[in-house]
Structure 1
Amino acid sequence: MSTATRSAVATPAEAEAGEAPRAGPIAFGPLTNSLGFHLRLAQIGAFEEFFAAFAEDGLQPGGFSVLITIRESPGVRQGILANALKIKRSHMAKIVQGFGEAGLIERRVPPDDRRAVELTLTEAGQRLVEAKMPKFLQHERASAAALTPDERHTLFSLLRKLNGL
């Protein structure tokens, strides 16, 4: 079995006992060719790198994606944004409330639909996104550093296709 499909890890009992991982690789079996499994591993790695890069800023990947998307789509309706980013409506409401309380976004109820909420960044929100964008772009370049430019292009094309974008 190739090294790409095997890894040294601690069993649950070893981890609970604080023991070191057992020597030797483990087999992933059908997970070796599981899209969801590999996407999950890639997401966990990307999020760990994001948290390390933005730890001092208190930003989380989901929250920062909300701010970026509002910047790119001023006046976007909260429900539409939640659907686009695959964030549960209740969780989006908490994110929006927190950003509103922090003075980063403005919420407006449009006259044509009193149930909807339109979101825009405040000046403080604009400044925050602009200030963190260089670090974010550096993080993004580093997250795919193992790929050639052509591989990165292919990966993003395929992910956009899978996501219906």
Structure 2
Amino acid sequence: MDMLVHGNEKVDLGGLNEAPGFMLRLAQLKVFENFFSEVGGRGLKPGEFSVLWVIRNNPGIRQSILGQSLMIKRAHMTKLIRALEDRNLLSRNIPDEDRRAVELTLTSMGKTEAEAASEWFFAYEQGVGAALSEAEREQLLALLRKFIGI
């Protein structure tokens, strides 16, 4: 059935429910909507947390590699890094051997923030897909990793 139901209204999707890209987009929007209603007031957005967390796990990572890994466009990445640096959560270093590169590390405040945020972030993520059984959730994650190439 190609129907979305909103209250008493039904919307015919005309086969869009068979389009993986469309379904992934709806899933992403649903996850973000739930994120902001449940934990959005905690100070970090999902993208900000993911950047801090990956830097935490890869101290000195080059900004370009981080952006490519998280699929963040260069211009947005520059803005995001500048904002996190302004909040004293990370520091940038330009290595002598490659003056075009930027290496990123967390400040002590950034480490503390990332660790504290990881508790509520991963607790929230455990609830994502609560309508799925544990086996279905693991299957979804395995399929997403395969789709992404992880």
Equivalent residue runs for 1:30-109 within 5 Å? 30-109=15-94
Report SS of the residue matched to 1:119: strand
> 2:55 touches 2:106 (CA, 8 Å); kept in 1?
yes
Structure 1 or 2, whichever has the larger Rg, is 1
Q: CA deviation at 1:55?
A: 2.6
Partner of 1:145: 130
Once the two structures are superposed, residues 28-66 of structure 1 have per-residue CA deviations (whole angstroms, 9 ceiling, x without a partner) of 112020101110111011111221233322321111111
Instruction: Give the aligned length.
Output: 150
Once the two structures are superposed, residues 55-86 of structure 1 have per-residue CA deviations (whole angstroms, 9 ceiling, x without a partner) of 32232111111111111111110001111111
Equivalent residue runs for 1:122-161 within 5 Å? 122-161=107-146
* Residue identity in the other structure for 1:134: E
Structure of higher RCO (CA pairs closer than 8 Å, 6+ residues apart): 2
> 2:49 touches 2:117 (CA, 8 Å); kept in 1?
no
Report SS of the residue matched to 2:50: helix
RMSD: 1.4
- TM-score computed with the length of structure 1 as normaliser: 0.85
Structure 1 outlier segments of 4+, above 4 Å: none
Q: CA deviation at 1:98?
A: 0.6
* Residue identity in the other structure for 2:3: R
Answering whether residue 16 of structure 2 is matched by residue 7 of structure 1, we say no
Q: CA deviation at 1:163?
A: 0.7
Identity percentage over the alignment?
Answer: 43
- TM-score computed with the length of structure 2 as normaliser: 0.93
Q: CA deviation at 1:8?
A: 3.8
CA distance in structure 2 between the partners assigned to 1:53 and 1:7 by the alignment: 23
Q: CA deviation at 1:27?
A: 1.0
Where do 5+ consecutive residues of structure 1 fail to align? 10-20
Where do 5+ consecutive residues of structure 2 fail to align? none
CA distance in structure 1 between the partners assigned to 2:4 and 2:129 by the alignment: 21
